[in-house]
Amino acid sequence: MDGNGKERSKNSETEMTSHLFSLVSDSDSQRRRQVESEIG
């Protein structure tokens, strides 16, 4: 997960930000928890 996360961080940096913004807009606790788990 470390290797993939590092490589993905560089390529999907904008995508991650967009995803985080979507979560904030959703204001969903459950979804936020899943994202936190994925990020680590």
CA 13/CA 17 separation, integer angstroms: 6
Q: What does the pLDDT read at residue 24?
A: 72
- Confidence bin at 22 (pLDDT 50/70/90): confident
Other Cβ atoms less than 10 A from the Cβ of 14: the count is 8
Instruction: Name the nearest CA neighbour of 28 among 38, 20, 37, 18.
Output: 20
- Confidence bin at 18 (pLDDT 50/70/90): confident
Asked whether the beta carbons of 23 and 32 are under 8 A apart, the reply is: yes
Domain ranges for the chain: 2-39
Backbone phi, then psi, for 28, in 5-degree steps? -100, 120
